[in-house]
Chains A and B, each alone.
Chain A
Amino acid sequence: MKHKTWFTLMSILVLASFVLTACGAPATPTAAPPAAAPTTAPQAQPTAVPPTTPPQPTEPPTAAPAAFTPLSVSAPDCNYGSADIPAQIKSIEAVDQYTVKFTLCSSDPAFPSKVAFAAFSITSKAYLDANGGDSVTMSEQPNGTGPYMLKEWVRGDHITFEANPNYWGTPPKDQTVIFRWSDQAAQRLLELQSGTVDGIDNPSTEDFAAIEADPNLTLYPRAANNIFYLGMTNTIKPFDDVKVRQAVAMAINKQRIVDSFYPGGSTVADQFLPPFILPGYTEGLKWYDYDPTAAKALLAEAGFPNGFSTTISYRMVDRGYLPSPDKVTQEIQAELAVIGIKAKIVEEESAAFITNTSDGKEPLYLLGWTGDYPDSTNYLDMHFANSNNKQFGTLFPDLVNEIKTASTLSDAAARQQHYDKANELIKQYVPMVPVAHGGSADVFKSTVEGAHSSPLGDEYFAVMNQPGGQLVWMQSGEPAALWCSDETDGETLRACIQMYDALLSFSIGGTEVQPGLAETWSSNTDLTEWTFNLRKNVKFFNGDILNANDVVATFASQWDAKSPNHKGRTGTFEYFGAFFGAMLNTQ
């Protein structure tokens, strides 16, 4: 009897401990907060708010058709953001019928690059109001100003675009453009070879040689808007010694890594910035040469003649900048072993890895960065002049100074001077080793005139000409919507830019900012006020004429969380959050 009680008690204890472990274990991974996600914008309740009395924005009643009533949205002050996502926009106002003015809370030299991005395309105010800013209904009958209009979207199969007869710019060369998609690289190439499509995206690495050998096809390597680097945290011994970091820089055989593990179109990185990001990239500045002997000597000088032991961490996530992380990690481990550094490989779960690196807890790690918009601030400020970011340990004051100074200037040549200095300092201090810019490519039939690839992935079909007037394009996936304010996927954005224009645009196949719906633009000296002068007589597909209120309404639908048009598809408006900071009225 006594035994029985004992046994019952014990079994309950054992069971309870199992329950505890079962409940406790899964808590560990979730305990890591999804940190370092500057793109996550607060959720908004789109429909619940009746458009009665919006407290802060002053929205005058709808303009009478004859007289133009300028629209404006403004924040009461610049404190509506949070510590993580600061407020960046003070007001957006229509100055007159064809002039829009943005007032910012802090200076931003990259503002033109940002408003040129496909997610900030402009649609008409009336159309936006009629659809409540819902990306799904707006995908039925898009209302843009671009070279192509939607003819039909057969879900799961294809999208047909036809030329816009009222387009304000050079008329598109082909009457019809058809988008198709397949997630199989082999199938895309097969369709191209058999002639059913005229251009494809992202052929697989193994097929590059065959495509280049085929006279009927032309490969257009896509310049890489990213960087893969080997990060070092200078607060962890022995990486606090600059000689150790320089030795690591000399020990990495970047050419071998790019040749062996990267697809065609990838290049060895000499600096943190990709070469096409100007002002920023320093022409002619080379990284340390691969020299294990010199590296070993430098290591001995730093007091480690026999090397040392450390860890090298990575996450098993394939990104454009790093195609096969596990293989590259092993390669780097072996290269470090040559100079005596014994690195133990640690694979970490992605979110935990990002948290650990940005907290400065990983001595040596493989990470990269994909540019959101082609401007140096998106690369340098984020990494080397951001006191919240401890991924390389403590910041270098003189480097911070150069980068910060450059980001407040508007003159390109003056900015470049500071960036030259900054790049030189990065090379000297070696907070990280830039290894590669991972590339990709698209392929067109050789008969397609004007075919190109774009580093931003926004190929522009209006300048292409396929004999016969119809061009069929096959990409990796189906667009999620045809209104892109709330989209982040390149497959979707590419479809949108065929139909919509933003205030500014990027040069075809490049990243240079050029006029779009705004013919000219200017800013005040401290880069906090940006004024855009719109083109006149730009017609939307539905016949409306573009005016400044359309621009204000389009931006307000993303910025103002209480706007009745703040719906999108998921409601997160990730790019807006990443580019322009906090949203208005999120409480």
Chain B
Amino acid sequence: MAAQLEIPSLPIENIYERRSPAVEALRRLVRHRSAQVGFFLLGILILVAIFAPLIAPYDPTTPLYDVKRRSPPCIHLLGCPADQAQHIFGTDSNFRDLFSRVIFGSRLSLQIGLTTISFAIFIGGLLGAFAGYLGGWLDNVIMRTMDVLMAFPSLLLAIAIVSVLGPGLINALLAIGFVSIPVYARLVRATILSVKELDYVSASRALGASHMSLLFNRILPNALTPLIVRGTLGIATAILDAAALSFLGLGAEAPTPEWGLMLGEERNSVFNAPHLVFFPGVAIMLTVLAFNLVGDGMRDALDPRLRGKNI
């Protein structure tokens, strides 16, 4: 009659369940209120960019015939006479459909943001990694150069670079990418300086890992989190900078449907044809807002100090 000893099964998995940090971060990210808004906007933006030829009713660069220049928006649903062609955002100074131009502009803006920041992260990351890992005079040279670059207002430096290279979208992208480098170099270097002293790195080294392997397999992955956060926010800045360069006539060339260029070309129309600057301006604003919100959300989600908390 041995008493049956029953061991109550404890809900172990509820307490000790281990989820990978990535899944954890993702969970927090999708619950993050402002990130939700950001992702929503960004999703729309990406869809619009992908399906631009299907959405836009007209070609963005060909002038239309039988329309008036700078005519205000005509939307049939809102009482515009049906015998008039529908131009949701009106037409611009060169007889082009503004709506189509704004739609196609989304493609450019996304490309600009992603390419410049990828470029800056790649170059800046490498520079920062080597500077931080190797230290010594190399660190000094690289980081002091970065300091000098940072001492210039970024937009002014970009303008100077474009003036030397000559105006054009590619050159503008190079310039913006170039002026964004120091931020990422610093970020990566700072992370690496703290991580390379940790015990697990020393252990790896004791086991005979090569410098390259140490740097790229053991240390650098730890610097990824701040890079992602900073990069997302950086895309927003890059889009703004590109728009500013185009506004000044140093970026995209007419008749490219670039939002900044559209603003710049019509800056004299602010009072007599405000729709020409309103819609491209709103488009820039929404795009930058989307990236900022997503970046904010990511920062909160990836912050290890906030792990396990609801935000």
Contact = CB atoms under 8 A, between A and B. Distances in A.
B144 A330 contact: no
Contact of B144 (A11, A327, A345): A11
Contacts of A344: 253
B69 A7 contact: no
Main secondary structure of the interface of A (DSSP, over half): helix
B167 interface: yes
B265 A25 contact: no
A193 B166 CA distance: 49
B94 A327 contact: yes
Interface string B29-65: 0000000000000000000000000000000011100
A345 B254 contact: yes
B21 interface: no
A412 interface: no
B95 interface: yes
A337 B63 CA distance: 11
Residue of B145, B160, B254 with most partner-chain A CB within 10 A: B254
Interface stretch (B12-20, B134-142, B203-211): B134-142
Contact of A25 (B137, B163, B249): B163
A10 B253 contact: no
B62 A334 contact: yes
Given A25-B160, A25-B163, A6 B137 contact: yes
A326 B137 contact: no
A347 interface: yes
A347 B163 contact: no
B250 to A, nearest CB: 10
A141 interface: no
B265 to A, nearest CB: 6
B255 interface: yes
Contacts of B253: 344-345
B4 interface: no
B63 A331 contact: yes
A16 to B, nearest CB: 12
A18 B148 contact: yes
A260 interface: yes
A206 interface: yes
Contacts of A345: 253-255
Given A7-B140, A14-B145, A14-B148, A260 B95 contact: yes
Contacts of B255: 330, 333-334, 345
B272 interface: yes
Interface in B143-170: 144-145, 148, 160, 163-164, 167
A3 interface: yes
B71 interface: no
Interface in A285-337: 316, 324, 326-327, 329-331, 333-334, 337
A10 B63 CA distance: 55
B225 interface: no
A327 B93 contact: yes
Residue of B62, B136, B137 with most partner-chain A CB within 10 A: B137
A347 B167 contact: yes
Nearest to A347: B249
Given A324-B93, A347-B167, A329 B254 contact: yes
B65 to A, nearest CB: 8
Given A6-B137, A18-B148, A345-B253, A334 B160 contact: no
A393 B122 CA distance: 48
Contacts of A10: 137, 140-141, 144
A316 B93 CA distance: 16
Contacts of B167: 347
Contacts of B141: 7, 10
A206 B272 contact: yes
Contact of B63 (A3, A324, A334, A347): A334
A15 B145 CA distance: 9
Interface in B82-110: 93-95
Given A3-B140, A6-B137, A260-B69, A25 B94 contact: no
A199 to B, nearest CB: 25
A234 B255 CA distance: 27
A345 B61 CA distance: 13
Nearest to B265: A326
Contacts of B61: 334
A337 B249 CA distance: 22
A10 B163 CA distance: 26
Nearest to B256: A345
B94 A331 contact: yes
Interface in B165-222: 167
Interface string A7-51: 100110011001000000100000000000000000000000000
A330 B254 contact: yes
Residue of A316, A329, A334 with most partner-chain B CB within 10 A: A334
Residue of A18, A330, A333 with most partner-chain B CB within 10 A: A330
Nearest to B164: A25
A330 B94 contact: yes
A91 to B, nearest CB: 52
Contacts of B164: 25
B186 to A, nearest CB: 17
A302 to B, nearest CB: 25
A6 B148 CA distance: 18
Contacts of A337: 62
Contacts of A334: 61-63, 94, 255
B107 to A, nearest CB: 20
Interface string A369-400: 00000000000000000000000000000000
Contacts of B163: 25
Nearest to A260: B69
A330 B92 CA distance: 12
A7 B63 contact: no
A15 B148 CA distance: 9
A513 B160 CA distance: 53
Contacts of A11: 144
Contacts of A333: 254-255
B204 to A, nearest CB: 27
Interface in B227-271: 249, 253-255, 265
Contact of A14 (B63, B144, B160): B144
Contacts of B62: 334, 337
A347 B264 CA distance: 14
Contacts of A331: 63, 94-95
B124 to A, nearest CB: 18
Nearest to A2: B137
Interface in A252-276: 260
B91 to A, nearest CB: 11
A6 B137 CA distance: 8
A3 B137 contact: yes
Contacts of A327: 93-94, 265
A274 B230 CA distance: 61
A264 B5 CA distance: 104
A331 B136 CA distance: 59
A347 B167 CA distance: 9
Given A329-B254, A330-B255, A7 B137 contact: yes
B254 A326 contact: yes
Residue of B61, B63, B145 with most partner-chain A CB within 10 A: B63
A203 to B, nearest CB: 15
A3 B137 CA distance: 6
Contacts of B93: 324, 327
Nearest to A328: B94
Nearest to B264: A326
A11 B148 CA distance: 10
Interface in A327-377: 327, 329-331, 333-334, 337, 344-345, 347
5 contacts: A327-B93, A333-B254, A333-B255, A344-B253, A347-B249
**9 closest Cβ pairs, A-B complex:** A3-B137, A334-B63, A7-B140, A330-B94, A327-B93, A330-B254, A6-B137, A10-B141, A345-B254
Given A3-B137, A14-B144, 5 more contacts: A6-B137, A7-B141, A260-B95, A330-B254, A334-B94
